[in-house]
Amino acid sequence: MAVVENIYYTEDKSILENPDIKMMGFRYEGAQTLGIEKKGFYLIIKADEEKFEKEDVKKTLEKAEKITGEEKEKILKKIQELEDSVAGGIALFD
């Protein structure tokens, strides 16, 4: 079982209510928080590949656009930069 990290873009927060997706664990960031001029959010799910194959999960994720390739790398970089800036801000209070 290979663990994969998939990123999806959506404006439909009902995706977050899917019990199987909740069990997989996820995080999400608003597009605007990442400096992207879109209204929705990016959903980042890291789980065993087989969990993405469940029919209920596939059906729910049809409501979102899967982000791949260069765009995926760009989003991951922006998320890392956001985490680094938050960590730097916390360090100021130590």
Ordered DSSP codes for 19-33: HHHHHH-EEEEETGG
Residue 66 near residue 8 (C-beta atoms within 8 A) = yes
The class level of CATH for 3-91 reads alpha beta
93, pLDDT greater than 60: no
pLDDT of residue 52: 94
User: What predicted TM-score, i.e. pTM, was given to this entire model?
Assistant: 0.86
Can you give the residue ranges of every domain in the chain?
A: 3-91
For residue 81, what is the enclosing H or E element?
helix 69-91
For the residues 82-88, what does the mean pLDDT come to? 74
Token duo for residue 50: 């087989």
pLDDT of residue 87: 62
